[in-house]
Amino acid sequence: MPSVSSTQTIDINNIRKQFPILHQEVNGKPLIYFDNAATNQKPKVVIDAIESYYKGYNANIHRGIHTLAEKATKAFEDTRHYLRGFLNAKEAEEIIFTKGTTECINLVAASFGRKFLNKGDEIIISGLEHHSNIVPWQLIAEEKGAVVKPINVLDNGTLDLDHYKSLLSDKTKIVAVNHASNSLGTINPVKEIIAEAHKVGAKVLIDGAQATAHLNIDVQELDCDFYAISAHKCYGPTGTGALYGKRELLEAMPPYQGGGEMIKEVSFEKTTYNDIPYKFEAGTPNIADVVAFKKALEFIDETGKESIAAHEEELLQYARQKALTIPGLHIVGDSDHKVSVLSFLIDGIHPFDIGQMLDASGIAVRTGHHCTQPLMDHFGIEGTVRASFSVYNTKEEIDRMIEALQRVVKFMKP
């Protein structure tokens, strides 16, 4: 269970009022949105921030001296400084804006990998990884002649730490694992994983896409080398995110892309690259959404991460208890240490059929392999039904899902 302390009571009615999209009907039924692990919904302050930028101070950043450009630049950089505190990085320059977690991982794989990986070196990932934390490492491993080694997964959906420790050696150059599994919700012991990797001199990237909105993240306390996040998993806009990296590593890594902003001087003979973080931020960024990202982070802080975690944990345990009363339902990945994800199957009913029938009742869940095909292969299944909960969800919504599932079972297995 996530660490929860000093919680304040969630005013669920007030929370729900802040999310305009929730107040609609789908297929003639009130919307119940349980696909938060894919993306969560956006409070009005985030939506308003995007509109305010385009209506009031749309301009390119960093290079202009006129009023709109200076206002846009300040708003953009304010988000970077807020993220520094949100993640407890040492300095704002260690925060690089990207399109999201996927680009963060590709950036590190391409830049760190090309600089520091050699033939025969080893990259450790885990059997719980999203494809975005598998494929970039396979690409750079093929290019450099390195080897990708996965950590085994136990039957309850947790990592086999003994196997992990057995994989570590002086050939290990980087370990890349998620903080929390998108398909099962398992929270990994990343601090221990990082410490063990550092013993052999390896660097560690943590995919924080599923953890950032749920858990307290302190990159200095974790001592991770890289931490990747997506805004849209934190009540923010799609198409933006951030990579934390230790200064000494970022300075040693070559640029990921070439173009404007990432240069100091350009001539046909030689180009001098900019300082971090701008060395990794080529071209005009997604300014409006970065500006709005700050509002999403403020929403999390104002609501309170501990309060959010406590509410989501209560929902998860309630849903688990109710789900297990349904005949033939099996939870996949039933770890004691999870974010608010309930992944399950019902005997004799395909997950896709369950998802379609729930949608007919206005209930949005995710079905399929959740971009974790190796994990599904490990369990010998095609996929699962995944219900994932957020701060604006309620027990009453869970009750409606359980009632709908009971109807599915009655209809499909008379």
Active site residues: 371
Taking alpha carbons only, the member of 311, 222, 229 closest to residue 1 is: 311
Q: Is the Cα dihedral 267, 273, 278, 284 positive or negative?
A: positive
Would you put residue 27 in left (φ > 0), alpha (ψ -120 to 50) or beta?
A: left
Taking alpha carbons only, the member of 173, 189, 182, 177 closest to residue 222 is: 189
Please give the structure tokens belonging to residue 153: 């997964």
Cβ neighbours of residue 134 closer than 8 Å, sequence gap 6 or more:
125, 148, 374
